[in-house]
Structure 1
Amino acid sequence: MTAPVLPAADDVAVRLSALVRVPTVSSRVPEEVAGARFDELVALLETLYPHVHRVLERELVSRAPDVADGRSVQFRWRGTGGEEGERHPLVLMAHYDVVAVPGLPVPVDDVEAHAPGWSHPPFAGVVRDGAVWGRGTLDDKGALVVALEAVEALVAAGWTPPRDVYLSFGHNEETAGDGARTAVARLAERGIRPWLVLDEGGAVVQGAMPGVAAPTAVVGIAEKGILDLELSTRDDGGHASTPAANGATVRLARAITRIDDHPFPPRLSEPVRALLATLADHADGPMRRVFANAGRLAPVVARAFTRLGVEPNALVRTTVAVTQLEGSPGANVLAQTARANANVRILPGETVATVVARLTRVIDDPTITLRVVSGEDPSPVSPAAGPQWELVRTALAASYPDAVLTPYVQLGASDSRRYCAISDHVYRFSPFDLTTAQRASIHGVDEHVTVAALGRGVAFTAALLEAVPAPTAAAAPRP
């Protein structure tokens, strides 16, 4: 083989821009999903990455052959490791669906349309000021692109991995996650247990932890559970000119206020303890001692985190966000039913059942019904040590040599949680350096990734692939 030549970051940016211009917006409302756009993006990948499609085997994954909301795409790159390499592959994940942009219709017809607050049209894929701007640049088409760019370069150079590699790209991570669930089921049927799974998640950040000046590469070794909980109560209704005391909306508002007034107690979970232990050697001043003794000072440290900002607070407690409210259908009509949706992110060590039980106690109102709309417990915790973890460290050294590798608990849910059923080493890391503003732009306004970060992301992924160890067990030769 020849030495792989990684693409110029500017060229990577152009290809990411092309994908952003295909508005693959997810929705739980079937009429809002433009299936043709999803098919268009899958076809565009074949144009942009011909070597990948020439050598890797592609499989379109969905629950049924006639689904109209796109397909998850899974590529298999056959390695040289025989049966053992087939059974224990490396899996690189991403998803190509994106969330809607407030102010734009769904589905999106005009990719040049502007949206309130955005510096550039969200689906125009503008490359300007050293960045690619648009919905999906960070969540998660950017990660998809750097994975494909690295594989394209390695395939073009004639390189073959020592164990199988899968590229698993979901089409509905932002909604149901059925694509990833089906992909995992198919691998399980084939007796495959991935050696390592890497999906979106943490990033290279600076200033995220007090007293730590060095850039830190935070890699999720677990993710919080997720629960959508409906709170509802009923009443007789009637005309708004003759309201009764303590009506449905009042009781619902009181329940919400009680939840807000009684947050879950802060606690240092295993991943956060590992985070602080890792950063102790890199902290300055008194924080070095605090981090080093976090186990002994756990209650104090956990309480301190709740006062450091929304991200540190979310690291140490189960959070509840009331995201939707519904009452009367008319301005002069008393509500017969009042509803709210509480989106809960569950800290490792707690479960859907324990969360519902606590909220029931906090609300303390038998007229309020709590219904689990959907819920999943926190993921298992993957080890922050061993050959898989060291492989991530090796790739980081080639792309962000000054960054400190550290574990943490991922706050948001990802498709990777589906893979915990078949792999003990599931990590969550997007190989980009991100500012606080960029992290806030995910699902928000002015989402963008820098061109330089795209280049470093390709370098990270290529280094990861090139350093993948061969299977240790004796592998049967291929026929």
Structure 2
Amino acid sequence: MNPADPSPALLKLQRLVRIPTVSDRDPALVDDAAFAALHTALAEEYPLLHTQLERTALAGHSLLYRWRGASSERPVVLMAHMDVVPVDADATWTHAAFDGVIADGFLWGRGTLDDKNCVAGICAAVEELLGEGFVPAQDVWLSFGADEEVFGTGAVAAVEHLTSLGVRPWMVLDEGGAVAHDSFPGVAAPIAVIGVAEKGATSFELRVDGRGGHASQPAAKGPTWRLARAVMRLEKKPFPARMPAPTLELFRRMAPHAPAALRPLMANSSKLAPLLARALVLAGAEPAAMVRTTAAVTQLSGSPAINVIASTAKAGVNVRIMPGDSVASATAHLRDAIDDEHVHLDLLESAEPTPVSAFEDEPAFALLERTVAEVFPDAVPSPYVLMGATDSRHFAAVCERVYRFAPFRMSKAQRESIHSYDERIGLEAFDEGVRWYGQLLRNLD
């Protein structure tokens, strides 16, 4: 087969991408028919999986499969999610988000990187192994959520179901890290970053109330002025930077591949942590987010009309809390930064950062490293702290080994396309990912 041609596994992903399974916090706004179509597509594209594995529907549209292995000891959970975020109608997509166009060596569309690539990659690997008559060394569970993007209940239901069966996973693997190219200035080698923890995803609302009135008679220091000042104060007082243990290990492992001038700093990251943390803050948004809790103002609202002074002005603030910080400490920091009693700070939803899964002298992490080395020999496997949030956080209560890694090569531009426009996956990169999942399942013994 020509490397530029799509593989059969890729064409199956293309079908999934063309189904607009957009999740919403309001169940009434969810297109149930789209999720039903996706379930049908999964059953048709992966028939062995659906005839030989035990399937359980959970929490609306989420799915859980059991692949019985040679032993029920040390069960493994492979996770992904079937839902996607909405598409901004004003975004300038090269190819329409749900057309699933194959062009220029990529499959384009919403979900190609987040996260139908993992759904299709896992299913393709399982389907292939079933066709060979392969039996995994231990039970394997496939947990596919349908509301991950809206912090839904699918994964919670999966945990509850497994608990009711007395299943305590030995290892859980969800999306998260990737084989990241262009991940750090001057580092040529791709870094296979495996999330051993994730930040806590917490949301606040800033609200300022006032009298409002006619725009021809503006009063000083009204709601919009106070809100704008509060936003600027948040920008001017970011959270302090520090280096958690996984990030220190990440830089130690990158050191041999860094420019000569940076190698001593990175190799001795534990001794030079404060200096390295300051350097990362200056290196850009992606590196800076690795070393501190972040706060992003994501929504603004004010007057309903351009000639009316707002009586209430609001701003949504999304905070990603670094392990070692907490919802309480983040709340205190925001209050201190805003320093205005007229600005109400309301907690909308909260999640603490997850525990850090072991990565030193840990067989489960070594298994992931070994599989990376076999499929991506040019990549440097390393632990890191995931900046986003995944469904796997719910499994931390029942499993000590929760990891986050999507085995696909991604450039910096591709990583920036997640939740944005022109999301796309390389044709060869997808096939590599399928091989990685298959090799992982073979390596369980």
Instruction: Calculate the TM-score normalised by the size of structure 2.
Output: 0.96
User: Alignment partner of 1:402: what SS?
Assistant: coil
Give the Cα separation in 2 of the matches to 1:392 and 1:433.
16
Q: What is the count of residue pairs matched by the alignment?
A: 440
Give the Cα separation in 1 of the matches to 2:27 and 2:164.
29
- 2:288 aligned partner: 313
Q: Which amino acid aligns with 1:341?
A: G
5 Å-filtered alignment, 1:11-30, equals 11-30=8-27
Give the Cα separation in 1 of the matches to 2:207 and 2:289.
26
- 1:47 aligned partner: 44
Contact 2:182 2:411 in 1 (8 A): no
- The answer to whether structure 1 residue 61 and structure 2 residue 37 are counterparts is no
Following TM superposition, by how much is the alpha carbon of 1:116 offset from its aligned partner in structure 2, in angstroms?
Answer: 4.2
Following TM superposition, by how much is the alpha carbon of 1:394 offset from its aligned partner in structure 2, in angstroms?
Answer: 2.1
Give the Cα separation in 2 of the matches to 1:169 and 1:21.
18
- 1:476 aligned partner: none
Give the Cα separation in 2 of the matches to 1:432 and 1:9.
16
Following TM superposition, by how much is the alpha carbon of 1:280 offset from its aligned partner in structure 2, in angstroms?
Answer: 2.6
Stretch moving more, 204-213 or 459-468: 204-213
- 2:84 aligned partner: 98
Tell me, which stretches of 5 or more residues in structure 1 are unaligned? Answer: 1-7, 63-69, 104-114, 470-479
Cα deviation 1:49-95 (Å, max 9, x = unaligned): 01001110000011xxxxxxx4101100011114xx2xx31111100
Match 1:409 to one of 376, 379, 385: 385
Stretch moving more, 285-294 or 428-437: 285-294
Following TM superposition, by how much is the alpha carbon of 1:44 offset from its aligned partner in structure 2, in angstroms?
Answer: 1.1
- The answer to whether structure 1 residue 78 and structure 2 residue 68 are counterparts is yes
Match 1:421 to one of 390, 397, 400: 397
Give the Cα separation in 2 of the matches to 1:281 and 1:424.
31
Give the Cα separation in 2 of the matches to 1:125 and 1:243.
50
- 2:318 aligned partner: 343
- The answer to whether structure 1 residue 232 and structure 2 residue 222 are counterparts is no
- 1:152 aligned partner: 127
5 Å-filtered alignment, 1:327-476, equals 327-385=302-360, 386-469=362-445
Contact 2:82 2:145 in 1 (8 A): yes
- 1:5 aligned partner: none
Q: Which amino acid aligns with 1:411?
A: M
Tell me, which stretches of 5 or more residues in structure 2 are unaligned? Answer: none
- 1:65 aligned partner: none
Q: Which amino acid aligns with 2:408?
A: F
- The answer to whether structure 1 residue 187 and structure 2 residue 162 are counterparts is yes
User: Alignment partner of 2:350: what SS?
Assistant: strand
Cα deviation 1:296-330 (Å, max 9, x = unaligned): 21111101001111100110111111011111112
Q: Which amino acid aligns with 2:169?
A: P
Q: Which amino acid aligns with 2:399?
A: S
User: Alignment partner of 1:174: what SS?
Assistant: helix
Following TM superposition, by how much is the alpha carbon of 1:29 offset from its aligned partner in structure 2, in angstroms?
Answer: 3.6
Following TM superposition, by how much is the alpha carbon of 1:31 offset from its aligned partner in structure 2, in angstroms?
Answer: 4.2
- The answer to whether structure 1 residue 241 and structure 2 residue 216 are counterparts is yes
Cα deviation 1:367-420 (Å, max 9, x = unaligned): 111111001111110111311111112221221111111111111111111111
Give the Cα separation in 2 of the matches to 1:188 and 1:168.
14
Stretch moving more, 329-338 or 161-170: 329-338
Cα deviation 1:196-222 (Å, max 9, x = unaligned): 111111111223123422221011111
Match 1:291 to one of 260, 263, 266: 266
Following TM superposition, by how much is the alpha carbon of 1:281 offset from its aligned partner in structure 2, in angstroms?
Answer: 3.5
Contact 1:223 1:410 in 2 (8 A): yes
Following TM superposition, by how much is the alpha carbon of 1:364 offset from its aligned partner in structure 2, in angstroms?
Answer: 0.8
Q: Which amino acid aligns with 1:74?
A: L
Stretch moving more, 142-151 or 276-285: 276-285
Instruction: Calculate the TM-score normalised by the size of structure 1.
Output: 0.89
| Identical counterparts, % of pairs | 47
- 1:279 aligned partner: 254
Contact 2:48 2:127 in 1 (8 A): yes
Stretch moving more, 160-169 or 285-294: 285-294
User: Alignment partner of 1:286: what SS?
Assistant: coil
Q: Which amino acid aligns with 1:233?
A: V
Cα distance 1:325–1:28, how it changes in 2: closer, same or farther (>3 A)? same
User: Alignment partner of 2:262: what SS?
Assistant: helix
Q: Which amino acid aligns with 1:12?
A: A
